[in-house]
A and B are shown apart, each in its own frame.
Chain A
């Protein structure tokens, strides 16, 4: 499993320098392992042999030297082992997070199926109800209003179940060669138009030599518009809190996040994600927005899409400073 979400607490960097934030779970080559397994033992052995053949004073010196050498070597090896263990723990935690998301996805698609049937019956009955009253010539505006409201709420319920089913659908991505900026530009244009009305600045930082990637273009667009919608929502919150001078900026950048990776970052300078929520933002149904405004599905869908393309997601946020969500995608675009 390669798609992992990671969370970290740093000041969001809306202009990621290329090559920063190394991919997590990266197999770093242990430098000079041969030093500890070959060179140190050979040196120690040589010291013992030399000591046997020369003056006692020299022997003492060599003994001390060997002691220091082996002690240092053992310490370094213990350090390396500790670090490897730490990395493995981190990877396990990420794997569990990913499996948890998958399990919740499955559960919610089951629930969505179950809820669809009663929703269908409610809407049919409401329609029938309207028709019956109408036939009796007894329809009055208030009743019509009630029936229309029932229909609206059913539609809302259906929308949620549809998104849920979407979320758990295990559709294979259909990939095409496309550059990231071309894939996301239309979504940015759409957001820009609405952002202007709200005094929000949208800044593009597209990598001029962005490579073309194998991506599922419409799915990636969907992932990106979810991030953009969240950024706009976050800035609206800030606007309400901050009054006059609070305007807000969204920075959309495409960049090389590693040797085999390209990335899209959507950063805003809104209120950011509260520390205690950082690990939960990708969970389905996790939302801090009022009912009717957010269902908490946007980021879990986005996460799911990115994972299906063999990528991973990352969030960086400092409360009060803003949030930056990054989609990392493998350059080859091949899903494992």
Chain B
């Protein structure tokens, strides 16, 4: 089994370390079951011997028959117990993994998750982890049992018939070697088949999803032929692969059967010359298939185990992904009250980027002021938001709140001080009240309603089918972007945090929403430190200070009038809209 010991196996076994007792119990029950099996066949052989050769009657073998029945029942019970315990190992390991996996996803945060496909991550967390079940529950214990069981059986056989014992011991190692050699070859073939299968499935999904486009272009009926053709090509190609892939099974089967046949014939011949008794010979014959069965079961479980291992690769890749922020050893607290933010020479570079996203930005946000952050797309505005929320840590420089560096504050407690109103707020599975209440779970219904009023959301909520009880989320009501933003503002009002970060959405041409949001923002800004990533001249115009970013650098800073007079970046940005209007 030496070559099975690669790092993935080790890693997966480590996963089971906390549940070792169950694994040991599985082995124990399995071994006891083997003992019962041996007993069962011994009794069977003895009974047949007595009836056949010694012409005994039913009454005379009665006790043996009763004992045989007991052995059968014991064996079955032990097998059932073994499977229960083996399953327990897998269940606990999977639940533990699910929890740690989700926790890791939360720790990795939006900067990592944004680049991932939700569907793929969720299916890794559910189906992927499920695929480890056969590995934990069957394959892993089976690797041990496939050594123990044959040893137990051979140990019983040797004293009775060393020749058969020798044949069995001689052939036994060949099987796993054969499995590995032929197995790895056929595994490569199987992998190619899986790739071909996924490509064909992707083509099929592609075509089904693109039916409207095909219809528009008049190609939808013609595609049917291609679907049939692609499927048939897949069949031909895969069958070629399978012809080789199944060879490993063929070899295994052949070896086992040939060994059994050989032993049987030799037993027969030796019986002729009275070299061995009938009962011993029959007993050996009955045990031979039991000897090879665990090894064959291992081969059968191997396929599912391989699938599990490839799922595990992805799972561990995510579990091993380095966190974007470092947590402090002794987290400090921020005193209650207003918050002053200072960015000092902050730089940030994304892992594979050539240019830094944010370069040497120094900025001070005073309590009670509103600062607008403007700049072309890609100028670093969202990176700064991520840094302020500590979804990322600066590569150089630091950010501090009231003089304490963010890196020394408790992450959760810092985020309690910040209210984020994102461009595209997410609506969770639940009703409107639940969604707003996320900001402060212990808020009363009245407090939630008041926050919605302040945010200008109460009006549109009243027009929804169930008002505040309307279900939102995937299968619930869909809100327009303006409505979602107002709901996010309601969350901000409810949270009542000293620092507010608002990421303004680009226009959806909904004048009503735009006006409402602006009024709410004015209300929310009173007495708080506010940073607005602004897209609207009206929002910027009323800000106390404007910070202009260009390619990650802070190029201008001042009030609207100051910057307009300077005639630089800001003036150009502000002037550009009038260019469009003038046409």
Whether both chains belong to one complex is answered with no
User: Footprint of B on A, CB under 8 Å?
Assistant: none
